[in-house]
Amino acid sequence: MIQRIQTLYLFVVSALMAVTLFVPLAWFAGDAGEFRLCAFALREVGGQAVQPTLYMGVLLAVACALPLVTLFLFRRRLLQFRLCVAEAVLLVGAAVMEGVYYFLSWRVFSGLTFHLQGVYVSIALPVVCLVFVWLAARAICTTSCSSALPTASVEGRFSPFRTGSFPRTGVFFARPVLFRYKKGGRNFVPK
């Protein structure tokens, strides 16, 4: 589990999403005071919640927990790959939800005569995590695809493809074998 590269990628995703959960995402300042958009609420600087953002917080929490669950499913690589795809969907949803709540918070303060707004780096972390999830899914697919295929013997009896090359070009080709039949109690692919 520890020696695989996808474990590192999934751990990075989980750590970055934990940062997104606990660090403010954006700030707004106006006549009414200064406010920060966090994962679970739009808060004043003192910490009092002004507007709840519970849906975004739950989505970010699930996007933080799913890579940790995926880490421990290292023996079931197909399920691990599917959970990586689900994590990618969650991260896209989290990025969209952050944009929606940023827009809604901006709308509240845009009516004031004086207002400023800004974003922190943590608002872009779901997009960074999306890259790491893609790398993890790619590594999982690489290891699972290579171990799921049957090993080819010297004669090519267990290979799903017959291989060769075109004469004088060196271009490699593979064509699928359409049938198999038993000969002498073993699977046999005709040459």
- Report the range of poorest mean pLDDT among 7-21, 30-44, 128-142, 148-162: 148-162
Mean pLDDT of 54-64: 94
Q: From start to end of 18-159, where are the E strands?
A: 26-30, 33-37, 41-44, 49-52, 115-119
| pLDDT at residue 180 tops 70 | no
Three-class SS of 28-55:
EEECCEEEEECCCEEEECCCCEEEECHH
pTM of the prediction? 0.71
What pLDDT score was predicted for residue 184? 56
Give the mean model confidence (pLDDT) for residues 121-126: 93
pLDDT of 117 > 70? The answer is yes
Tell me how far apart the alpha carbons of residues 31 and 26 are, in angstroms, rounded to a whole number: 17
The confidence score (pLDDT) of residue 1 equals 59
| pLDDT of amino acid 191 | 53
Give me the mean pLDDT over the 8-27 stretch.
94
What local confidence, expressed as pLDDT, does residue 134 receive? 94
Look at the block and give the residue holding tokens 């590269």. 5
Q: Which two tokens stand for residue 55?
A: 């849906």
